[in-house]
Amino acid sequence: MTTAPELVKVRFALDQDEVGWPPVKSEGLWAASLGEDRFRVDNTPWFVRGIAADDVVEALAGSDGVLWATRRLEWAGRQTIRVVAHPDGPLNGDPAAARDLFVPLGLTGEIAPQYRMVALDVPPSTALAPVKALLVAGEEDGRWGFDEGCVSQEWMTL
């Protein structure tokens, strides 16, 4: 029987736009130490761009001991799509209801209820066209808006 690796928080500095989005200046993601300043991300980010679950990042401890990510070293093939449920739309702003529509397509997601947002985790083996079609349809009918946090070239060509 193997034991799960101990997880630590790795912080990612974020750049806020002129309206203050994202609403935080950094995000902490759980990660497993691989040694030599390398960490495998263990959850789906809400705000960090260009990172997805299972990616390997470099992180260095600051003077206060906080681990700060410096760069992505390896892409694991997973993708991150953020969906924000519209409060006046058919889902009444419910991010869990939005997430549940993607479960049959093989996706999971981490919910940030205070932002009506779900960060969808797209595994490498996922058929991407149905996912993108559902995202676009939901945006068109007012269920949500979405953001491509970490996507592949294949996704971009759809």
Place of tokens 């992180």: 59
pLDDT in tens, 5-52: 799 999 999 999 999 999 999 999 999 999 999 999 999 999 999 999
Round the average pLDDT of the chain to a whole number and report it.
Answer: 96
Answer for the pair 25, 14: CB distance below 8 angstroms, yes or no. Answer: yes
Q: Say whether pLDDT at 3 is over 80.
A: no
Answer for the pair 145, 91: CB distance below 8 angstroms, yes or no. Answer: no
Region 71-86: what's the mean pLDDT? 98
Determine the pLDDT at residue 10: 98
Place of tokens 């058919």: 90
Determine the pLDDT at residue 5: 77
DSSP-derived secondary structure letter, 84: E
Q: What percent of the chain has pLDDT over 90?
A: 97
